[in-house]
Amino acid sequence: IHAGRLMRSGLDPLSACQACLAQPLTDDPTVQAAILDVVRAHFQNPDPQKEKS
Q: Does residue 45 surpass a pLDDT of 80?
A: no
Q: Does residue 50 surpass a pLDDT of 80?
A: no
Q: What is the pLDDT of residue 4?
A: 95
Instruction: Indicate the domain borders of the chain.
Output: 2-43
Cα of 5 vs its chain's centroid, Å: 12
Q: What is the pLDDT of residue 51?
A: 57
Positive or negative CA dihedral for 35, 37, 41, 45?
positive
**Per-residue confidence band for 47, with pLDDT thresholds at 50, 70 and 90:** low
DSSP letter for each residue of 1-53: -HHHHHHHTT--HHHHHIIIIIHHH-S-HHHHHHHHHHHHHHH--S-THHHH-
pLDDT digits over 9-33, tens only?
999 999 999 999 999 999 999 999 9
